[in-house]
Each structure stands twice: as C-alpha cells, then as structure tokens.
Amino acid sequence: MASFVIHGGNPLRGEHTVQGAKNSALPILAAAVATKSKCVVHRCPMLSDVTATLQILRHLGCRVTQTNGCVEVDASTLTSAEIPMCLMREMRSSIIFMGPLLCAVGEATLCAPGGCEIGLRPIDMHVDALCALGVQIDEQNGLLRCTVPNGLIGARIALQFASVGATENAMIAATAARGVTVISNAAREPEIADLARFLNRCGARIHGAGEGVIVVEGVKTLHGAEHTVIPDRIAAMTLLCAAAVTKGEILLRGAAQDHMDAMRNLLERIGCTLRQFPNGDLALKLKRRLDSFPSIHTAPYPGFPTDAQAAAMVLASLANGTAIIKETIFENRFRHVSELRRMGARIRVEERVAVVEGVEKLHGAHVDACDLRAGSALVLAGLAAEGTTVVNNIWHIDRGCEQFEITLKQLGADIKREEV
C-alpha cells in the first residue's frame, strides 16, 4: 500500500495544465463500443479508473492503445458482451457499458456494481430507463442479463432524479433506438454534453444535452470519431483549493471556467482573488486567512458539485467563522470528517449536515483516504497543516487525480509517495 508523506506550510506557487475530465473520459471510452469502429480520445487522463476501463475494453475484444493522453479504441473487433465480476468490482462506474453494448450487439451481461465508499449507489434508474427503451433485464444473483427482444425502441423517459450515469446510459442506448427518445429531468453536468458531442461526431443525433431535456433521434449505425475530452472541473477546483489553503497563487492552464461557476463563486466569497483569461486560463491568489465561509449544499449541476464538497470542507476548516455544509447527493460522503478532526478540525455532523468551525491552524497526523475526493481533500489539509501528515490508502486518489504528488511538488509542496 502507498502513502503520501507531506510536510505542510509551503505556499503553492506556479502554473499547471488541467487534466482531462475523468467523468467525461470514462463514459466516452465506453461509448466507443457502440460505434464498433475506431475512435481516438485525446486529453484522456492517466488514472487507474481509465486503466480499469481500458482493461474492460480489451476484455470485450477491442484493440486499445494508450500513448500518454491519447487513447485509441478499435471496437471493430468486439467479441464479447459480458463483463466479469472481477472487472466490474474494479470500478463501479463500469455500469456505463450497458448502453454501449446494447447499441453494439443488442445484449449486455454484467453484475450489479453494488455500493461503494460513498453510498449504496443503486442502479434502479439505469434499469428503468433502459427497460423503457425495450431492454429486457433478467437479474440472477446480482448478474444482469440484458437483451433487446424487439430491438431498442425510442421512448419518453422521465428520470426521478437527475442521475448522471442513468442519463448517460439512456442517451447512449437511445442513439440506436428506432424512433425518437426524450429524456426529461436529465443530468446537466458538462460531462453529459461532452459525451453527446462525441456521440454526435460518431453520427448520433442528440439535441439538448447539458439541459434538462435531451432529445435523441435514433440512427442505424454509428461510426468512429476523434474527440478531445473537456478539462476536469473537479481536478481544477482541487488545485485552486490547494493554492488557497497554503496562501499561495496558481495559474491553471486550460481550465473550464464556465463549468465552475458555483465553485468560483465560493472561492471569491471567502477572499480569493480570481482572474479569468479569455483563453480559459484561471488564476487564483490568496495571501491571508480565508474569510468566513458561506454555508453551502451540494446539488446537481449547475449547483455546487458533491465531488468538491470534501475540498470545500478543508477551506471551511481553516476559514474565519462557522459554516454549514449539507451533502444532498450521496448518503455517506462525510468520511473525511473523522480524519480532518484528527488534524485539529472542529466539525460536527448531524446526518447529512456538517457544522464546521474554522480554526487558525491544522496540525499534521496519520490519516486514511477512504474515497477519491475525501483522500485528495486530506492532502489539501496536509499541505496547509503544521508538521507532517501521512495520508494512507492513496490508491483511492490515483483513481481520479493524475500524477497528484508530482503536480503538487512542481508547485512547491513538500510531498512524496512512499510504498508502505
């Protein structure tokens, strides 16, 4: 197992090019299966979740090459529609392969992904949406056998909740359905619009992605395409927070400013000076203690993203005043609280509400990462803390933060990766 050893107190200074969005790259790589052709994906972040996705693509018979940030998927050699449990367990978001496989070959066999560190993560909305499109799903002992006895048929789908994954699976499956599909209460995250742009490049006819209602006109076949993934707004926020908590300054090259309104608003309200450049670059400077932190609650896009909640809690832990943070998306996404408390943070949790009383200083401690965003938040706390912090189980962080310690070291942090 590996850990990060961090000696806190160095202000982060410098510039960094933002990685490609993990939550855009994963569904786009899966969607390449639907084309049964060759696709090229640029700005694909080098993450363990991407590696897991490439493993599944190879298991399905696709030819895959990865050269730095460029991934080529040749899905013309698809030989299987079954994803074994061992690969599904690697990464629960592999559920996104349902839609692409149904598009490509009219069947998909995979196991229900099950819960994870942040919640039960049911897939009922995925199942309901796909069944509305004519998919028959037989579940036995957690194994889902999906078939389309009469082919995929366009339908009106009303999602109970603006689920990102269910929107993606429905949108991908609908591209090959006979007729028109309307998905209402669709997720509006930028990653959804990026996936739609990729699919439309492949010959799909998707309208309204990124808004609440998505209309998909089914087509007979999709062809290969080349696509560049949007920048990762959560990775960008993580680095902005790293500069803020260490009273430093950072220039993010290629940030997706217009995907970050809620996060930028928070940073400015707590005293950070933000400068947005016409080319998309985003600079942050902060030379003093963070001002009082306004209360926030997480919400579907364009609300404050749940994936930035843990980083925001580190900001609140060091801010001047008391803040309320409400997590409305996942039922178990405060697991970083106990670890932050070990570093001197003053946080009380009641169900999905955390009350955070800011302190002048955090102190180093041995802490455990228990999910991707909680883990990266603990690193932020270690960068700001007095003394040494050891963050264990950093494989969680490697799932979504590309070369995290290398990036932070280049910005002046005293951090190293140690194999324990």
Find where tokens 């260490």 sit.
246
> Which one from 116, 272, 370, 401 is the annotated catalytic residue?
116
Q: Does 93 bind ligand EPZ (CB under 6 A)?
A: yes
State the minimum distance, in angstroms, from the CB of residue 242 to ligand EPZ: 17
Query: x-or-dash pattern for ligand EPZ, window 176-195, by CB under 6 A?
Result: -----------x--------
User: At 144, phi and psi to the nearest 5?
Assistant: -100, 115
Residue 145's SS3 state is strand
Q: Which residues are CB-neighbours of 286 under 8 A, at least 6 positions away?
A: 243, 244, 247, 248, 249, 271, 272, 273
Q: Does 203 bind ligand EPZ (CB under 6 A)?
A: no
Q: Does 373 bind ligand EPZ (CB under 6 A)?
A: yes
Contact indicator for 317, 381 with CB cutoff of 8 Å = yes
Q: Does 124 bind ligand EPZ (CB under 6 A)?
A: yes
**For ligand EPZ, which is the closer residue by CB, 206 or 365?**
206
**For ligand EPZ, which is the closer residue by CB, 163 or 181?**
163
Q: Does 307 bind ligand EPZ (CB under 6 A)?
A: yes
**For ligand EPZ, which is the closer residue by CB, 193 or 365?**
193
Q: Which two tokens stand for residue 100?
A: 């692409």
Find where tokens 């300054």 sit.
249
State the minimum distance, in angstroms, from the CB of residue 359 to ligand EPZ: 26
Rule CB under 6 A: choose which of 94, 163, 169, 257 binds ligand EPZ: 163
Q: Does 257 bind ligand EPZ (CB under 6 A)?
A: no
**Cα distances (angstroms) measured from residue 60 to each of 37, 106, 169, 288:** 13, 14, 18, 53
**For ligand EPZ, which is the closer residue by CB, 134 or 400?**
400
Q: Does 304 bind ligand EPZ (CB under 6 A)?
A: no
Alpha-carbon gap, residue 7 to 409, rounded angstroms: 11
Q: Does 23 bind ligand EPZ (CB under 6 A)?
A: yes
Q: Does 126 bind ligand EPZ (CB under 6 A)?
A: yes
Q: Which of residues 24-43 bind ligand EPZ (CB under 6 A)?
A: 26
Count of other CB atoms within 10 angstroms of residue 367: 26
| Cα atoms found within 13 Å of the Cα of residue 271, Cβ hemisphere only | 18
Nearest to 19 by CA among 372, 193, 255: 255
Q: Is 116 a catalytic residue?
A: yes
Contact indicator for 305, 233 with CB cutoff of 8 Å = yes
Q: Which residues bind ligand EPZ (CB under 6 A)?
A: 22-23, 26, 93, 119, 121-126, 161, 163-166, 187, 306-307, 329-330, 372-373, 400
| Catalytic residue set | 116
